[in-house]
Every structure is written in structure tokens, then in C-alpha cells.
Amino acid sequence: MGTLEGKIAWVTGAGSGIGQAGAIALASEGATVVLTGRRKEPLDATSATIKAAGGKAVVKPGDMMKSSVVGRIAADIDKRFGRLDILVNNAGLNIGERDWGRLTPESADTVIHGNLSSAFYCVTASLPLMRRTKGGVMIHTASWAGLWPSSLSGAAYSAAKHGVVAMSHVINMEECVNGIRSCVFCPGEVATPILDKRPIPVSKEDRAKMVQSEDCGDLIRYIACLPPHVCINEVVISPTWNRGYVAQQQHTLAPKKKK
């Protein structure tokens, strides 16, 4: 019997990348996983993988940028299961035109709503279910850019992910008395489909050196399996071959030209 047998987990952005890996890892521990994302087909693929391994999954497609949709899915979870034990708040996006020279109010709204507003919608919809059972764990995918602003990630993405970090800490401040734990997960570069939105393409060789989705899924599983009296407030992980550090070293150690 898995550590999470009988638990209900809701994973957003579950059709690919970190969300998919997290959902599979939670299911491997016995949790029933509710899979959410904008496109049904990738969710069905995640569900099929989970069920092929003997796990339990339910597909609930929806756009997390719409509060009414988030509320509807939470109500469906409540009606079907009567509880929610784990929220993996992973839905997110970025755009190619992310520098100030090309950023528009409309594209900034897309990034901020897709990463920050959607996270708030999921938290506000999930808290009543967790308060009822006096327990639960929330795991939010932020980013390295949520701690250190980056022009590579862009102003809107960096600002939104900073907001996710702050949101998670305030959940702990207010909800610890209800037995609810919140962890914000801040990965460096992860080899997921969001890299395809980078203005400069990322090579297959560089992707192989990055943190992989399965590494993140295993971390999500670990956090969710911790006993109720333990809260990991914040986790930062990065590739050992950190491209930012490597570039800095190359710049620092480069031979100086003689004047």
C-alpha cells in the first residue's frame, strides 16, 4: 500500500512536463489524481500511463485562467470525493516576445494571469475543502526567476513567479492553524516543453544537462508524502551544469585584451 493511499490529489498542467511527472509519481504512491489542463488529449495520455501502472486518475480539462472553471472543477472534486488532500498548482506559461521592447499590456496580462492569477484561483477554490478535513498540502511550481529576476525569463514571468512565492508563504502564515501546509517549488532550468517558447532555441545537448521532469515529479512525491507535522516552505533546485553560472565563469575567466 502506498503512502498516499486514499488521498485525493489535484494536479494542474498535468498534460506534460512537471505536472505530468508529478501526477504519475503521486499515483504511484496510491493517490487518486485529478488531472487538469487546457487540452484533453495530453491529459488522457497521462491518465492512460497512470492506469497502465495500476493507478487511479480522473481527467478534468479546464482553463485555469478562468476562475469560474477552477471553481467548477473544485466543486466536482468535492461532489465526487468529498475531500482534497493535495494540490499541485503547476499550470503556467510564457511567451516569446518577453523583453520590454516587445512586451504589450495584452501579452503581460497573458503571462501574469497564466502564472499568478490561475494559482490564486486554485488556492481559493481548494482551501475550503482542506479546511474541512483540517489538513492538506499545496505544492506550487514557481521558478528560479521567482527568486532572482531574469531578463531571460522576462519581466512579466519573473514578476508573476515572485507573486507565487509570496502567495505560498502567506498561506503558511494563515493556514498553519488549520493543518494546511504550502510549499513553493523554485526550479532552475527544467527540460520541459515551455523551453520551446524561448526566444533563443535550446539545444538537445543542453536540455540533457538540465533538471528533468521526472526529477521534479519525484520531489513533488517526497513533499506530499511527508508527515502532517512537517512543512517544507520553499525548495530551490537547479541543474548541476547551471548555464547561468557557466556563462558567468566564462565571462570572468576570459583572457583580458591588452589595451
Residue numbers annotated as active site:
157
Strand 8-12 versus strand 32-36 pairing type:
parallel
Strand 56-59 versus strand 32-36 pairing type:
parallel
**Terminal CA-CA length for the chain:** 70
Environment class of 81 (CB within 10 Å of its CB; exposed 0-12, middle 13-18, buried 19+)? middle
Q: Rounded CA gap, 253 and 174, in Å?
A: 47
CA dihedral of 204, 210, 214, 219, whole degrees rounded to 10: -170
Bridge partners, residue 10, by sequence: 34, 87
Decide if 137 contacts 172 (C-beta within 8 A).
no
Residue 89 dihedral angles phi and psi, to the nearest 5°: -90, 85
Cell (9 digits) for 207: 536540455
CA dihedral of 42, 11, 189, 181, whole degrees rounded to 10: 180
Cell (9 digits) for 225: 508524502
